[in-house]
Amino acid sequence: MERGRAAGVEGRLLGGEPGAPPRRFRVRAKVVVAACGTLHTPLLLGTAGAFRSSGALGHGVTLHPAVRVVARFDDTLNGWDGALQSVYSDHFDPEGIKLVGVYSAVNVLAAGLPGVGPALRRRVRALPRCAVFGAMIHDEGGGRVRRGLGREPVVTYAMAPRDLARLRRAITILSEMALAAGAREVYTALLGAPPITSMDAARAAERAPVDARRIECMAFHPLGSARVANDPRRGIVDQSGECFELPGLFVADGSILPTSIGVNSQVPIMAMATRIAWRMAERFPALAAASPA
């Protein structure tokens, strides 16, 4: 930093020859862009030490918590063949639930099936006849990123009660879909629970008391650890992606998205990054002219 502005980047390259001293680098720049993703950008910004006033750095992370069900049919399906994520449904968007076609590695699926010993072995053998479908939740931000030991981030997430209810509703919807399509048994994301074999059982499972820690939950879209805001007291960057507290430093990755978006995140992040780049090109025409693209 120089005179209150970002003036470049310095660091150390990872890798290199074993035992050789780390190679250091320093780049002076009129404009600096951080794009380390939701988990690493707050750590990088934290080292710059200029982001204390809003308290938003690393807070309010959304994840799109997701579940999947495995459904056993009579026919052979070989779910690992063909295109992944080839279908989705936004029918339940008003309830904050998006249904997405998924298929996991067979060993991961096997580990989540109910039963032990011969019962588990029977279900694993039936995997060629199993289909998998998933759902993700348009969630409130209950996540936090901080520096762990070394240079890796640690993420914690406290699920909002509303989102837990959505997750359980999603499991019911997925189970009903599978049964309507002819599934004999549905293995839900509730670890250790008996298979679901009827619509009534699917709905009853949603109403039954449950220890939420037993829900096998996944997340692939962490967003919002350096969120955009109109007011420096509520976020880290302004609408052009520039840090309120460190002019000249821009953020262009998933960390700036202020809420969960309820859809897969890659294209929306690319759209935001493109928009930030266009604004940058308008403000710094000399830099844009010097750039090859």
| Residues assigned a catalytic role | 221
Q: What is the phi/psi pair of residue 50, to 5°?
A: -115, 20
Q: Are 115 and 126 in contact (CB under 8 A)?
A: no
Q: Are 69 and 186 in contact (CB under 8 A)?
A: yes
Does residue 46 belong to the site contacting ligand FAD (CB under 6 A)? no
Does residue 221 belong to the site contacting ligand FAD (CB under 6 A)? yes
The least distance separating ligand FAD from the CB of residue 97, rounded to whole angstroms, comes to 17
Among 9, 44, 106, 110, binds ligand FAD (CB under 6 A): 44
Distances (CA, A) of 290 to 18, 281, 284, 285: 37, 11, 10, 9
Does residue 224 belong to the site contacting ligand FAD (CB under 6 A)? no
Q: Which of residues 58-87 bind ligand FAD (CB under 6 A)?
A: 85
User: Which one, 220 or 233, has the nearer CB to ligand FAD?
Assistant: 220
Q: What is d(CA 219, CA 100) in angstroms, rounded to the nearest whole number?
A: 13
Q: Are 60 and 143 in contact (CB under 8 A)?
A: yes
Q: What is the phi/psi pair of residue 101, to 5°?
A: -70, 130
User: Which one, 254 or 262, has the nearer CB to ligand FAD?
Assistant: 254
Q: What is d(CA 214, CA 251) in angstroms, rounded to the nearest whole number?
A: 37
The least distance separating ligand FAD from the CB of residue 203, rounded to whole angstroms, comes to 30
Stretch that binds ligand FAD, among 32-40, 63-71, 90-98, 171-179 (CB under 6 A): 32-40
Does residue 242 belong to the site contacting ligand FAD (CB under 6 A)? no
Stretch that binds ligand FAD, among 227-235, 243-251, 258-266, 280-288 (CB under 6 A): 258-266
The strand ranges marked E within the chain are 8-13, 23-28, 32-34, 59-61, 66-72, 88-89, 97-101, 130-137, 143-147, 153-157, 185-187, 249-251
The least distance separating ligand FAD from the CB of residue 267, rounded to whole angstroms, comes to 6
Does residue 35 belong to the site contacting ligand FAD (CB under 6 A)? yes
Does residue 254 belong to the site contacting ligand FAD (CB under 6 A)? yes
Q: Are 195 and 206 in contact (CB under 8 A)?
A: no
Binding site for ligand FAD (CB under 6 A): 35-38, 40, 44, 85, 220-221, 253-254, 264-267, 269
